[in-house]
């Protein structure tokens, strides 16, 4: 990581920097301990504030996985080095990782991916050196989910202009700071035209302020395809939250796996550094964990603090160790060199301080401007707006023709007319000749006889009461907005 021009941390920390230290779960304490050792050996004194998060906090009944005292520590230090946290899968509390990112507005996730010497992969020798910049707080990871029927669940994908602009600008500023010449924005804008499309449009508007950096759009699926065809073509990739989560794991696999994948979560005035890998409880406490990912995350943290000499010393020693063939952690050794445990590998890295590797990374890390946090709520005001109808989501276990008849009756005498019904995004009423396999969740599109500035709540209430009176159950509704003459809602497959 590099210094932040908007951050006065360097000015404040004339003595030891204060850093919240979260050891985490599973192998977390082992890799965190190894990283703290190499940082100390490099001559950097840090005021570590130890704190808890993750599994043991969930077991205390704290649903966020982050207790109050950890929040207070992070609010004070604005900086953390963090081991992997265990998150319940498919049930239980929220991800503690996501909680930390969102509560401290760590909106940018940085995942550098570089080919390392001594770690052989099918892509060795290709010169892979790229950064995935992932928007970190919006998208599906807003975590707003509802069970709309017993059979159908919904997750809201939220994309804002503010979020798009911040991450786009961050991506360009990172490219400038690292002397990178090109940047891709990767989206699924061909399918999700309002959400992923917004991300693309805002990125392209921001790009105009950075003419010296070549920018282009690529569809996310093609991006994944191209990464395994010709990964060396990429320099910086900016993408949305879930796409970035998946794509960054893919890129880590190109150079040797999650065991060597560092990351940083950067906010306006906060930064959290962590390995990408999980807690690996099956090898916890057995001195088998690969500490490289968190060591490299520690290098990023030192650069963020302006400790460039110490960061280079650790990186040089680590790369020299990989070149030397003296030994590697088990997940990357592949039988070609001795397998070293966590402690022995860390000892070897420290022993190699002062050595200059053949494959030294000579990238010039310049100061970087992180987008400032707005002091007001961002509002994008259209010149004109209208409401042309409403989508009412209804639970129904019958045939679409029967539901259509019931809803036509419900709309009789109201300000609305039923235009169409869709099931899982495909129009089923009026029939189109398609034969979708329906579930009990129906989007029912009612259009106003006359568009208005906003729907009269009483008129909408009468429609909903009539739907209820017909024995139907509704669970959700959305106004159909038109901003500056553009429809701000999607059509169903088959809808005209």
In the structure encoding, which two tokens stand for residue 375, read together? 């002091």
Q: Is 162 a catalytic residue?
A: no
Angle (deg, nearest 10), helices 342-351 and 28-41? 10
CA distance 466 to 414: 9
Residue among 78, 188, 200, 419 flagged as catalytic: 188
Which residues is 110 bridged to in the sheet?
133, 264
DSSP class per residue in 413-478: TSSEEEEEEEETTEEEES--S------SEEEEEEEEEEEESS--HHHHHHHHHHHHHTT-EEEEEE
CA distance 373 to 6: 10
Q: Which residue has the tokens 């991916």?
A: 113
CA distance 393 to 407: 12
Angle (deg, nearest 10), helices 195-207 and 161-177? 40
Q: Is 245 a catalytic residue?
A: yes
Residue among 151, 221, 397, 456 flagged as catalytic: 221
Tally the residues of the chain.
Answer: 496
> Do the Cβ atoms of 6 and 262 come closer than 8 Å?
no
Residue among 52, 129, 235, 245 flagged as catalytic: 245
CA distance 55 to 62: 10
In the structure encoding, which two tokens stand for residue 472, read together? 């139907």
Q: Is 383 a catalytic residue?
A: no
CA distance 349 to 318: 6
CA distance 208 to 213: 10
CA distance 468 to 495: 26
Which string of b and e fits 16-25 if b means at least 16 CB within 10 Å?
A: ebbbbbbbbb
CA distance 377 to 114: 38
Which string of b and e fits 344-368 if b means at least 16 CB within 10 Å?
A: ebbbbbbebbeeebeeeeeeebeeb
Backbone angles phi, psi at 78, to 5 degrees: 60, 20
Closest CA to 171 of 233, 103, 107: 107
CA distance 87 to 108: 21
Sheet (strand 416-423) strand order: 426-429, 416-423, 441-452, 385-395, 473-483, 486-487
Residue among 82, 139, 141, 391 flagged as catalytic: 141
Active site residues: 141, 188, 221, 245
């Amino acid at each position: 990581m590099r210094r932040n021009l908007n951050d006065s941390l360097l000015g404040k920390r004339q003595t030891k920097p204060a850093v919240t230290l979260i050891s985490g779960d599973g192998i977390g304490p082992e890799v965190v301990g190894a990283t703290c050792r190499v940082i100390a050996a490099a001559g950097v004194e840090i005021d570590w504030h130890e704190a808890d998060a993750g599994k043991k906090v969930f077991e205390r009944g704290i649903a966020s996985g982050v207790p109050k005292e950890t929040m207070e520590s992070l609010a004070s230090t604005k900086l953390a080095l963090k081991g992997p946290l265990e998150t319940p899968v498919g049930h239980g509390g929220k991800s503690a990782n996501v909680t930390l990112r969102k509560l401290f507005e760590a909106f940018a996730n940085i995942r550098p991916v570089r080919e390392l010497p001594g770690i052989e992969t099918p892509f060795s020798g290709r010169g892979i050196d790229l950064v995935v910049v992932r928007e970190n707080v919006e998208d599906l990871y807003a975590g707003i989910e509802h069970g709309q029927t017993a059979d159908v669940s919904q997750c809201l994908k939220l994309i804002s202009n503010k979020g798009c602009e911040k991450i786009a600008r961050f991506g360009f500023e990172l490219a400038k700071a690292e002397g990178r010449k090109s940047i891709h924005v990767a989206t699924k804008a061909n399918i999700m035209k309002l959400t992923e499309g917004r991300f693309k449009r805002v990125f392209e508007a921001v790009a105009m302020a950075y003419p010296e950096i070549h920018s282009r759009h690529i569809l996310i699926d093609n991006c994944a395809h191209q990464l395994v065809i010709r990964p060396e073509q990429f320099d910086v990739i900016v993408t949305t939250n879930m796409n970035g989560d998946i794509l960054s794991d893919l890129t880590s696999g190109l150079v040797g796996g999650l065991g060597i994948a560092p990351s940083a979560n950067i906010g306006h005035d906060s930064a959290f550094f962590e390995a990408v890998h999980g807690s690996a409880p099956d090898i916890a406490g057995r001195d088998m964990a690969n500490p490289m990912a968190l060591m490299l995350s520690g290098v990023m943290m030192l650069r963020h603090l302006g400790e460039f000499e110490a960061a280079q010393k650790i990186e040089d020693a680590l790369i020299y160790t990989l070149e030397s063939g003296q030994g590697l952690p088990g997940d990357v050794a592949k039988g070609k060199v001795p397998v070293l445990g966590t402690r022995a590998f860390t000892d070897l890295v420290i022993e190699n301080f002062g050595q200059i590797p053949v494959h030294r990374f000579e990238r010039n890390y310049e100061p970087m401007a992180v987008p400032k946090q707005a002091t007001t709520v961002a509002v994008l005001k259209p010149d004109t707006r209208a409401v042309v109808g409403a989508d009412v989501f209804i639970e129904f276990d019958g045939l679409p023709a029967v539901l259509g008849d019931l809803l036509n009756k419900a709309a009789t005498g109201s300000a609305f007319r039923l235009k169409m019904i869709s099931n899982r995004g495909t129009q089923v009423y009026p029939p189109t000749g398609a034969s979708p396999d329906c579930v009990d969740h129906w989007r029912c599109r009612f259009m106003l006889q006359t568009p208005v500035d906003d729907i009269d709540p009483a008129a909408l209430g009468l429609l909903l009461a009539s739907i209820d009176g017909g024995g139907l159950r509704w669970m959700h509704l959305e106004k159909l907005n038109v901003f500056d003459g553009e429809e701000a809602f999607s059509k169903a497959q088959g809808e005209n």
